[in-house]
């Protein structure tokens, strides 16, 4: 009897620890916006919302076992909608920039709304990050997941084809966020999708990210013009501030001279080495937290938070003022690919669905 009681207690405690819950925050555009809380067996938490199919909180321990949130985000409807447009969100129909808001497909030129003058960024001013997605919770083999789905109609934001897209977030007992993307179209179109989470491995409101050690397994990058559009070249990172093939702190070379001007920070696409099992690793010596990025995408956009302040966003949900309080590592195809014939194709066709996986894995490195 005693052993049965112990077994029941164990099972109940596991059910209470590993769970997914949903809370309706209110309505936006006549659709319910919900907050989803995924808790794994260690009690660590991932929070999501169907507004923009986005990550809003990641609670993981530091080297001393103290749990902190390490991403930007909000848990109230007003600050989710009025806060940072891209933070934590699924961005599409085309992540990153398209030059001058134009591209040509099969001889037809398409014009897109401009929201990053003179370019289109992350699908324009009403991209997928600003839409309320449908959602479904699931628990399989003790893995907590939420799937968000969205139907993007033909010519939404100027893009051809009706696209059905789904994004499934799975929160594992190993503190991994597994992001599975799936998309189909009824007409040839261009497609690029990513998650735009910002991270500070020191914890929310605990300083800046210049001290983070970063490794990116990319021997090459795509240089950009003054509007952050790729020139079409693929250049070696060797002897440049872009070389993270060995660990460097994010802030180490910001402010140094490069190509006769002061280097102002990172917002660049890296061409990932094909044989690399891990695309990138970030490590905070202060907290001991480690984040690994695993992906089957060819590119990684590294943004060093050149115009972001963590504290203001945390308190008010408004746009940031100061720089480098968080960073982004966005797995995707290359910017402006529809206009760059030498880049990997971003054309999506009816006979070949798009399928991709990215993993953010969190762990601790002790002194």
Q: Nearest-CA neighbor of 98 among 366, 286, 343, 356? A: 343
Contact 193, 332 (CB under 8 A): yes
Give the pLDDT of residue 48: 98
Please report which helix (H) or strand (E) contains residue 312, including its range. Answer: helix 310-316
Query: What whole-number distance in Å separates Cα of residue 179 and Cα of residue 211?
Result: 27
What's the rounded Cα separation, in Å, for the pair 68 and 198?
Answer: 15
Domain span at residue 270 reads 2-364
Cα–Cα nearest to 300, from 278, 320, 275:
278
User: What is the distance between the alpha carbons of residues 116 and 352, in angstroms, rounded to a whole number?
Assistant: 31
Q: Answer whether 147's CB lies under 8 Å from 334's CB.
A: no
| Residue-level pLDDT at 3 | 54
pLDDT of residue 320: 43
3-class secondary-structure state, position 197: coil
* 3-class DSSP assignment, residue 260: coil
CA distance 273 to 237: 12
SS3 16: helix
Query: Residue 37 in 3-state DSSP?
Result: strand
106: left (phi over 0), alpha (psi -120 to 50) or beta: left
Q: Are 142 and 148 in contact (CB under 8 A)?
A: no
C-alpha 140, offset from chain centre? 24
Q: Residue 315: give its domain's CATH number.
A: 2.70.98.10
- Quick one: how far is CA 205 from the chain centroid? 20
Run of H or E residues at 12: helix 2-17
**Catalytically active residues, by annotation:** 196, 330
| Total-model pTM | 0.91
SS3 letters for 115-147?
Answer: CECCEEECCCCCCHHHCECEEEEEEECCEEEEE
> Residue 41 and residue 43: Cα distance in Å, rounded?
5
Structure confidence at residue 307 (pLDDT) = 62
* CA–CA separation, 222 and 5 (whole Å): 61
Query: Which contiguous run of DSSP H or E holds residue 10?
Result: helix 2-17
DSSP string, 294-340: EESSSEEEEE--TT--HHHHHHH-----SS-S-BEEEEES-TTGGG-
State how many domains the chain has: 1
Torsion of CA 75, 78, 79, 85, to 10 degrees: 110
Burial grade of 167 (CB within 10 A; 0-12, 13-18, 19 or more): buried
Local mean pLDDT, 10-residue blocks, the chain (367 residues): 48 59 96 97 97 98 96 93 93 98 98 97 97 93 90 98 98 97 98 97 87 97 97 97 97 88 91 96 97 98 74 43 78 98 98 98 92
Query: Alpha helices, DSSP H only, in 34-123?
Result: 77-82
C-beta of residue 129 within 8 angstroms of C-beta of residue 54? yes
pLDDT of residue 58: 98
How many CB atoms lie under 10 A from the CB of residue 142?
11
Residue 328: its H or E element: strand 328-332
Burial class (CB in 10 A: 0-12, 13-18, 19+), 330: buried
Q: 129 forms bridges with which residues in the sheet?
A: none
């Amino acid at each position: 009897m005693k052993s049965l009681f112990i077994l029941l207690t164990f099972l109940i405690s596991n059910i209470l620890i590993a769970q997914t819950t949903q809370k309706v925050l209110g309505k936006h555009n006549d659709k319910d916006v919900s907050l989803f809380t995924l808790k794994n067996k260690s009690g660590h938490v991932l929070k999501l919302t169907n507004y923009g199919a986005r990550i809003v909180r990641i609670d993981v321990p530091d080297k001393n076992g103290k749990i902190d949130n390490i991403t930007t985000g909000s848990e109230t409807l007003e600050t989710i909608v009025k806060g940072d447009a891209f933070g934590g969100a699924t961005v599409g129909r085309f992540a990153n920039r398209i030059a001058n808001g134009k591209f040509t497909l099969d001889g037809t030129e398409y014009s897109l709304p401009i929201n990053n003058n003179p370019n289109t960024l992350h699908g324009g001013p009403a991209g997928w990050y600003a839409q309320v997605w449908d959602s479904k919770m699931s628990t399989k083999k003790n893995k907590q997941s939420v799937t968000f789905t969205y139907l993007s109609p033909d010519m939404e934001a100027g893009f051809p084809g009706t696209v059905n897209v789904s994004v499934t977030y799975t929160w594992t007992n190993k503190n991994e966020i597994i992001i599975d993307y799936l998309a189909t179209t009824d007409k040839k179109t261009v497609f690029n999708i990513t998650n735009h989470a910002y991270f500070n491995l020191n914890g929310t409101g605990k300083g800046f990210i210049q001290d983070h050690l970063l490794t990116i397994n990319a021997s090459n990058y795509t240089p950009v013009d003054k509007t952050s559009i790729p020139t079409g070249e693929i250049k070696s990172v060797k002897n440049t501030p872009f070389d993270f093939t060995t660990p460097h702190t994010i802030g180490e070379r910001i402010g140094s001279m490069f190509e006769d001007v002061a280097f102002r920070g990172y917002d660049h696409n890296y061409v990932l080495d094909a044989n690399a099992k891990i695309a990138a690793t970030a490590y905070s010596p202060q907290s001991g937290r480690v984040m690994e990025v695993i992906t089957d995408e060819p590119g990684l956009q590294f943004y060093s938070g050149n115009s972001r302040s963590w504290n203001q966003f945390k308190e008010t949900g408004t746009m940031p003022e100061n720089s480098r309080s968080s960073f982004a590592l966005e797995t995707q195809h290359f910017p402006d690919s529809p206009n760059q014939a030498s880049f990997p194709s971003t054309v999506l066709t009816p006979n070949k669905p798009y399928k991709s996986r990215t993993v953010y894995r969190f762990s601790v490195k002790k002194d």
